[in-house]
Structure 1
Amino acid sequence: MAKIILQGHILVPENELLEIKSALLIHSALTQAEAGCIIFEVNQDAEQACKFYVYEEFINKAAFDFHQARVKQSDWGKQTQNVSRHYQVKKVD
């Protein structure tokens, strides 16, 4: 089975930055605890405080789909509805 990689960045509205950074701690812990998560990294840009680089790897499409469904129903999903997402998703054998 092919693993799934999501890579890109998010842009956070400046007035929501502190709230999003706080929520990211919980979101990261929950994602890293998912059975199919291999890597989950989110790093704030050193020069643009509202830009965060995202890199995720999941063991397969089912694990990635589970993650996406969980996120939509989570507090993170609700708190980040104003975040602009710029991702590429690819399968890697």
Structure 2
Amino acid sequence: MDNTVLTGQLRCESAEQLSAVVEHLPRHIELTRAEPGCLSFEVVQTDDPFVWDVSERFEDAVSFEIHQARVKASEWGRATADIKRNYSVIG
């Protein structure tokens, strides 16, 4: 099976969006890293405090799809739904 890899950026447009990321990100990272099939998960703030680099690697498409479904239904998903994402997914 091939890994599924997501890379890209999360781009906040306001202090409120930035605050939502800062508040909810630690738990989001913790939950994601604990998911079956998660091989790596990093969200790192860039030199621009409103931009975050995102890198995810899952064992396969199925574990990635399960992750995406969990995220949509999560507190993180609701709190950050309006934040722009520029992602690329391979696998």
Q: Same fold (TM over 0.5)?
A: yes
Alignment-derived partner of residue 75 in structure 1 = 75
What percent identity do the matched residue pairs reach? 38
Alignment-derived partner of residue 27 in structure 1 = 28
Instruction: Work out whether 1:13 is the aligned partner of 2:8.
Output: no
> Which consecutive unaligned segments of at least 5 residues does structure 1 have?
none
Q: Deviations over 1:12-59 (max 9, x none)?
A: 13222122112000100000000110000000011x110000000000
Q: What is the root-mean-square deviation of aligned Cα atoms in Å?
A: 0.8
Moved over 6 A (4+): none
> Which consecutive unaligned segments of at least 5 residues does structure 2 have?
none
Contact 2:20 2:80 in 1 (8 A): no
Instruction: Give the secondary structure class of the aligned counterpart of 1:7.
Output: strand
Distance 2:67 2:13 in 1: 24
Alignment-derived partner of residue 45 in structure 1 = 46
The TM-score, its normalising length taken from structure 1, stands at 0.93
